[in-house]
Chain A
Amino acid sequence: MNELMLLSIEKSVAGRGSNVIPAPETAAYALPDAFRRKDAPVLPQLAETDVDRHYTALAQRTYGVNCGFYPLGSCTMKYNPAVNEAAAKLPGFTGAHPLAPAHAVQGCHAVMDELAAALCEIAGMDAFTLQPAAGAQGEFFGMLCVKKYHEARGESHRVKMLVPDSAHGTNPASAAIAGFTVVSVPSRADGLVDTQALQALLDDTVAGMMMTNPNTLGLFEKDILAISRMVHKAGGLMYYDGANLNAILGQARPGDMGFDVTHFNLHKTFSTPHGGGGPGSGPVGVKQSLVPYLPTVASLGQPEGLQLKAFSGNFAVLVRALAYLKTLGKESLGDVAAHAVLNANYLMKRLTDAGFTPAIAAPCMHEFVLTLASLKESHGVSALDVAKTLIDYGIHPPTMYFPLIVHEALMFEPTETETRETLDHVADVMIRVLAQAKQNPDAMHTAPHHAVIGRPDDVKAARTPVLHW
């Protein structure tokens, strides 16, 4: 037992608790027995001080962007501005009921209208829905739009969705749950989509193609205009996964590259916090031809169309994103991408100079991928070992083993909000780790050594799941 890590229920003492809510001012209502549970649910009974300390301790065993460098590739862990949080907590917003009459929530409408207009301009799209709760839900909705579009044209036989082999797992999963058959498009040795292989896949069953640009190797798909033309010529639509939008924010627009539908991740590019896994927000932008399929809200009395969640979206996340855009304005927006790409290239250069091998030896966009395959071969040290060793240096590991097409991959995305000194420090740490890998590789197989736990037994966790107390 790790004494530090007692569960709240293990700290519970019968009879403890706080009286938060007063008794009813009328007699209690006698709900019939059929609607009464026999035994009260077993929840912790803790003094207020203990609850406070319990969660404070949990926070102390959690690593946020506020704690240090967080270079998770394709996750864009940039600084989450405090002013955005302040805006999201304004009582006028937090107290708004989603089904309040329209005149009572004009502020909410204004936030959504302003944000949607700004996203249209940033994306080069004609309309945006803010309803999707996350990037994957945006993808799902985008796929449904593509499906509706083909159905309306009497082309329901278009069932094939093309997805590059470097894509994030949500892409094929989203296409599949929208009813498409996923066809993988191979990448060339230079990490870009193999346009010849793509041409061979294009026939009259193609519904569209999903792309991330820059792709998950951090490379801009230079042939994007040709790819869009090819897919359009075959009758398909182009979907832009905005996971890597930070690389081109204000510099180039998906709509100008030939994309017909796109989602953005407000929790990546637009600085809203990740919250330990969510909430995010995945607004979807479309060209005019897809506008008829934008989501509706049944409870607001709109004629039923596609709907992804109750009400209008993760509104408080939208508030944060709008505050971010208001602060940056048009001048600073393009600087985001410039400095994100500058930071990534600078760190890649320092690591390459120090003896690490990039998966693709070319300038990168906002992120880059190292391959540790040769280190694994020569000294038995894996990408996992390096990642876990970084924890002992107080650095959050980069994304590991992704994209799948790179062996022993470590994917770094520093974002624009890191200083040159931080990047230099991280490079210096990586140099020490590389030296350690060559001199004392065994110690790295059991890293981290200074975290609250050592490496957990994942096999045991999966074979004999313990999922609650």
Chain B
Amino acid sequence: MEIKTDRQYSESHEWVLFENDTTATIGVTDFAQSELGDLVFVNLPQVGDTVTAGTPFADVESVKAVSDVYCPVSGTVSAVNEELLTAPQRINENAYDAWFIKVEKITDQKPLMDAEAYRTHTQA
């Protein structure tokens, strides 16, 4: 299972890649995609939506389950990866390339882990 060192991680298995203090890209981890299994659909927010740290901003569907994806930061959605709407398998193929949203005007964030702490978290 891959954990990239260039980004940070939430307890609920999302990754956050900060561009600067107020802008970040968000997706789900390789660990999360392998637990979820083959994904068949993703529900994403719209550009301009407000997201709040610790609350769901998207959900992912496998054949027999649906799981919320939680936002690690509070801010405004500035971009959405629409490719996932037609090709959710990108998340299974490479979870770190398959970003969900970009958030700007970040005002708040949940406690985040570095790669090492996250590895420990997934093994707990």
Q: Which residues of A contact B (CB under 8 A)?
A: 401, 458-459, 462-463
In the complex, the chain B residue whose C-beta lies closest to that of A463 is: B40
Is B89 interfacial (CB 8 A cutoff)?
yes
Of the listed residues B61, B63, B89, the one surrounded by the most CB atoms of chain A closer than 10 A to its CB is B63
List of A residues within 8 angstroms of B61 by Cβ? 462
How close is B24's CB to chain A, nearest CB, in angstroms?
Answer: 29
Q: Flag if A401 contacts B40 (CB, 8 Å).
A: no
Hey, what's the 0/1 contact readout for B17-49 against A, CB within 8 Å counting as 1?
000000000000000000000101100000000
How close is A322's CB to chain B, nearest CB, in angstroms?
Answer: 38
How close is B62's CB to chain A, nearest CB, in angstroms?
Answer: 8
In the complex, the chain A residue whose C-beta lies closest to that of B88 is: A463
Q: Flag if A401 contacts B63 (CB, 8 Å).
A: no
Q: Flag if A459 contacts B64 (CB, 8 Å).
A: no
Q: Flag if B64 contacts A401 (CB, 8 Å).
A: yes
In the complex, the chain A residue whose C-beta lies closest to that of B87 is: A463
Q: Which residues of B contact A (CB under 8 A)?
A: 38, 40-41, 61, 63-64, 88-89
Pairs of residues from A and B, 5 with the lowest C-beta to C-beta distance, nearest first: A462-B40, A459-B38, A458-B63, A463-B40, A462-B63
Task: Give A401 to B63 CA distance when docked, in angstroms.
Answer: 13
List of A residues within 8 angstroms of B88 by Cβ? 463
Our count of residue pairs bridging A and B at CB distance below 8 angstroms stands at: 14
How close is A284's CB to chain B, nearest CB, in angstroms?
Answer: 29
Task: Give A462 to B60 CA distance when docked, in angstroms.
Answer: 13
List of A residues within 8 angstroms of B63 by Cβ? 458-459, 462
Q: Given contacts A458-B64, A463-B88, could you give 8 more A-B pairs where the C-beta distance is less than 8 Å? A: A458-B63, A459-B38, A459-B40, A462-B40, A462-B41, A462-B61, A463-B40, A463-B41
Task: Give A459 to B64 CA distance when docked, in angstroms.
Answer: 10
Task: Give A459 to B88 CA distance when docked, in angstroms.
Answer: 11
List of A residues within 8 angstroms of B40 by Cβ? 459, 462-463
In the complex, the chain A residue whose C-beta lies closest to that of B41 is: A462
In the complex, the chain A residue whose C-beta lies closest to that of B92 is: A459
Q: Can you name 14 A-B pairs with beta carbons within 8 Å?
A: A401-B64, A458-B63, A458-B64, A459-B38, A459-B40, A459-B63, A462-B40, A462-B41, A462-B61, A462-B63, A463-B40, A463-B41, A463-B88, A463-B89
How close is B93's CB to chain A, nearest CB, in angstroms?
Answer: 12
List of A residues within 8 angstroms of B38 by Cβ? 459
How close is A236's CB to chain B, nearest CB, in angstroms?
Answer: 28
How close is A400's CB to chain B, nearest CB, in angstroms?
Answer: 10
In the complex, the chain B residue whose C-beta lies closest to that of A400 is: B64
How close is A459's CB to chain B, nearest CB, in angstroms?
Answer: 4
Task: Give A396 to B27 CA distance when docked, in angstroms.
Answer: 41
List of A residues within 8 angstroms of B64 by Cβ? 401, 458
Task: Give A192 to B55 CA distance when docked, in angstroms.
Answer: 31
How close is A410's CB to chain B, nearest CB, in angstroms?
Answer: 15
In the complex, the chain A residue whose C-beta lies closest to that of B40 is: A462
Task: Give A463 to B40 CA distance when docked, in angstroms.
Answer: 5
Task: Give A459 to B40 CA distance when docked, in angstroms.
Answer: 6
Task: Give A401 to B62 CA distance when docked, in angstroms.
Answer: 15
Task: Give A458 to B63 CA distance when docked, in angstroms.
Answer: 7
How close is A285's CB to chain B, nearest CB, in angstroms?
Answer: 33
Task: Give A376 to B61 CA distance when docked, in angstroms.
Answer: 24
In the complex, the chain B residue whose C-beta lies closest to that of A384 is: B64
Task: Give A196 to B89 CA distance when docked, in angstroms.
Answer: 44
List of B residues within 8 angstroms of A401 by Cβ? 64
In the complex, the chain A residue whose C-beta lies closest to that of B89 is: A463
List of A residues within 8 angstroms of B41 by Cβ? 462-463
Task: Give A401 to B61 CA distance when docked, in angstroms.
Answer: 17
Task: Give A463 to B61 CA distance when docked, in angstroms.
Answer: 10
List of A residues within 8 angstroms of B89 by Cβ? 463
Of the listed residues B38, B41, B88, B89, the one surrounded by the most CB atoms of chain A closer than 10 A to its CB is B38
In the complex, the chain B residue whose C-beta lies closest to that of A404 is: B65
How close is B41's CB to chain A, nearest CB, in angstroms?
Answer: 7
Task: Give A92 to B6 CA distance when docked, in angstroms.
Answer: 76
Task: Give A187 to B64 CA distance when docked, in angstroms.
Answer: 23
Task: Give A221 to B88 CA distance when docked, in angstroms.
Answer: 43
Task: Give A401 to B40 CA distance when docked, in angstroms.
Answer: 20
Task: Give A313 to B102 CA distance when docked, in angstroms.
Answer: 50
How close is A169's CB to chain B, nearest CB, in angstroms?
Answer: 11
Task: Give A459 to B61 CA distance when docked, in angstroms.
Answer: 11
Task: Give A138 to B70 CA distance when docked, in angstroms.
Answer: 34
List of B residues within 8 angstroms of A463 by Cβ? 40-41, 88-89
In the complex, the chain B residue whose C-beta lies closest to that of A401 is: B64
In the complex, the chain A residue whose C-beta lies closest to that of B63 is: A458
How close is B90's CB to chain A, nearest CB, in angstroms?
Answer: 11
How close is A118's CB to chain B, nearest CB, in angstroms?
Answer: 39
How close is A397's CB to chain B, nearest CB, in angstroms?
Answer: 15
Task: Give A459 to B65 CA distance when docked, in angstroms.
Answer: 12
Task: Give A463 to B62 CA distance when docked, in angstroms.
Answer: 10
Task: Give A458 to B40 CA distance when docked, in angstroms.
Answer: 9
